[in-house]
């Protein structure tokens, strides 16, 4: 191993790299060192994938979750499950060798308990995927409302910068404006949309309105913002019902309370679970942020727990869960040992797929290609390099 320290300029770095290549070195392929660690049995596939997640992590929560998986949090659970299943599978297969003598080496009650526990662990991991997705990819939030409700003002206030144009002219925002903010370690992709109104003759505005309607369906969460001074309770009810039809994840925000007062607004819209703010005066913005986080994660994100963030793991775990249910049903129905052994083998197959004990070249290629390319982080693999 040779470590070269040079001045920080990209030009100097490029020259050093060129000189090394000239002398016989080559650039490491994306994820090459991690792939080697995997092929040499130092990491399993979930740990190798976690390395890629650490490289691409952009919040403290995503980095911690990935770090936990890289240190083997997920692998340990799978390893334990696999070992227990192998132990029972061996005993059941042994019974098959003595099939004439009607003996039972594998304690069925103990096995049933083990399958039950494994089922609970698998279900917990599957449930963590939703949170895992939020941690890894963030959450999209569409800000929807009538023209002039204060959608763009809210976006600007949340971002703490004048990103979107704000004016008293209804129909100011035509196209969607998207920006990312980090609240409590979660990335929120805020989408400011064109105000929705029924009677517009402006073609461009109508396209914008259509886009806003699409965003209601496509976003993970919708904020319906209304002007407490001009909206009537009946209008609010109708709008909320329309949104609820398209996306169940929404909440209402009454804006411009600086002109009316939060108490009067709450009285006017009594019976509605709305949050009252002033986007312009920045009143109750912290409450709004808190509501967003609470809606996405109930309670604190405990990154110490094992959290599934990878769709490949999720799919395979669903198969593990199904196989465990089949084994359980088999035990309930007292099915013959050879059939039980088949179900166990199927379950083991899916676990091994996750850990990479069974893998094919295409899967490995796909996984290691997703590592950040070495052009950003030059690392070398010296092959017959002669540096003199
Ligand atoms: N008093 C008061 N005025 C506000 C508040 N929020 C927004 N406004 C004003 O309301 C007007 C419309 O604000 P925008 O943020 O452009 O509204 P919008 O919902 O984006 O409107 P469109 O893009 O036209 O759909 C502007 O004049 C803002 O200054 C608020 O909390 N209090
Ligand atoms: Mg706007």
Does any domain span residue 98? yes
For the stretch 286-345, pLDDT in tens is: 999 999 988 887 655 666 788 999 999 999 999 999 999 999 999 999 888 888 889 999
Is residue 77 domain-shared with residue 218, that is, in the same domain?
A: no
Same-domain pairing of 151 and 285: yes
Nearest protein Cα to ligand 1, atom 8: 150
pLDDT for the residue 126? 94
Residues 115 and 148 in one domain: no
More confident residue, 18 or 362: 18
171 lines ligand 1 (CB under 6 A): yes
User: What value does the mean pLDDT of the chain take?
Assistant: 87
Predicted local distance difference test score (pLDDT) of residue 303? 66
362 versus 105: the higher-pLDDT residue is 362
Given the CA of residue 168, which atom of ligand 1 is nearest to it? 27
Q: What's residue 161's pLDDT?
A: 92
Query: Which residues in 100-138 belong to E strands, given as ranges?
Result: none
User: Residue 37: left if φ>0, alpha if ψ -120 to 50, beta else—which one?
Assistant: alpha
Which range marks the domain in which residue 207 is found? 138-296
Please tell me the distance between residue 175's alpha carbon and the centre of ligand 2 in angstroms: 9
Task: Confirm or reject: Cβ of 59 under 6 Å from ligand 1.
Answer: no
- Locate the ligand 1 atom nearest the alpha carbon of residue 147 and give its number: 25
User: Are 250 and 343 found together in one domain?
Assistant: no
When pLDDT is cut at 50, 70 and 90, the band that residue 388 belongs to is very low
Q: Which ligand is nearest to the CA of 196?
A: 1
Residues 160 and 74 occupy one common structural domain: no
DSSP string of 165-227, one letter each residue:
---SSTT---S-EEEEEEETTEEEEEEE-PPP-S----HHHHHHHHHHHHHHHHSSEEEEEEE
| 92 & 166 share domain | no
Last residue of a domain, one of 229, 264, 296: 296
In a domain, 380, yes or no: no
DSSP E strands in the chain: the ranges are 25-27, 139-145, 177-183, 186-192, 221-227, 250-255, 275-276, 380-382
Q: Which of 143, 150, 276 to mutate to test the pocket of ligand 1 (most atoms within 8 A of CB)?
A: 150
Taking CA atoms, 17 is separated from 14, 28, 29, 32, 55, in Å, by 5, 12, 14, 18, 22
Whether the CB-CB separation of 223 and 250 falls below 8 Å is answered with yes
- At 25, phi and psi to the nearest 5? -80, 160
Q: Is ligand 1 within 6 A of the CB of residue 193?
A: no
Q: Does 380 score more than 70 pLDDT?
A: no
344-356: b (≥16 Cβ within 10 Å) or e: beebbebbbbbbb
More confident residue, 201 or 8: 8
**Ligand 1 centre distance from Cα of residue 168 (Å):** 6
Q: How confident is the model at residue 387 (pLDDT cuts 50, 70, 90)?
A: very low
């Amino acid at each position: 191993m040779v470590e070269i320290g040079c001045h920080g300029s990209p030009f100097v770095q490029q020259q050093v790299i060129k000189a090394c290549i000239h002398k016989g070195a080559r650039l490491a392929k994306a994820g090459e060192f991690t792939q080697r660690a995997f092929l040499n049995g130092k990491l399993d596939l979930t740990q190798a994938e976690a390395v890629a997640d650490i490289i691409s992590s952009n919040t403290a929560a995503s980095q911690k979750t990935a770090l936990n998986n890289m240190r083997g949090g997920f692998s340990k659970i799978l390893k334990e499950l696999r070992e227990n299943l192998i132990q029972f599978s061996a005993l059941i297969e042994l019974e098959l060798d003595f099939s004439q003598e009607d003996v039972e080496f594998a304690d069925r009650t103990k096995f049933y308990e083990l399958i039950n526990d494994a089922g609970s662990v698998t279900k917990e991991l599957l449930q963590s995927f939703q949170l895992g997705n939020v941690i890894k990819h963030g959450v999209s939030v569409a800000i929807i409302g009538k023209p002039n409700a204060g959608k763009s003002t809210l976006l600007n206030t949340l971002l703490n910068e004048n990103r979107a144009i704000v004016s008293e002219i209804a129909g100011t925002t035509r196209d969607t404006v998207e920006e990312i903010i980090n609240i409590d370690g979660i990335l929120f992709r805020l989408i400011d949309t064109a105000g929705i109104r029924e009677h517009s003759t402006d073609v461009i505005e109508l396209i914008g309105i259509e886009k806003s309607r699409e965003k209601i369906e496509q976003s993970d969460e919708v904020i319906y913002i209304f002007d407490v001074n001009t909206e009537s309770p009946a209008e609010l009810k109708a709008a909320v019902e329309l949104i609820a039809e398209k996306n169940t994840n929404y909440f209402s925000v009454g804006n411009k309370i600086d002109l009316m007062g939060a108490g009067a607004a709450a009285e006017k819209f009594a019976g509605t679970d709305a949050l009252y703010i002033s986007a312009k005066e920045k009143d109750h913005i912290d409450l709004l942020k808190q509501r967003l986080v609470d809606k996405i994660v109930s309670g604190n994100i405990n990154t110490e727990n094992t959290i599934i963030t990878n769709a490949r793991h999720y799919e395979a775990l669903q198969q593990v869960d199904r196989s465990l249910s089949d084994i359980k049903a088999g035990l309930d129905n007292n099915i013959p040992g050879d059939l039980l052994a088949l179900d166990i083998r199927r379950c083991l197959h899916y676990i091994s797929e996750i850990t990479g004990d069974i893998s094919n070249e295409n899967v490995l290629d796909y996984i290691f290609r997703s590592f950040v390319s070495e052009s950003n982080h030059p690392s070398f693999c010296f092959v017959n390099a002669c540096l003199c």
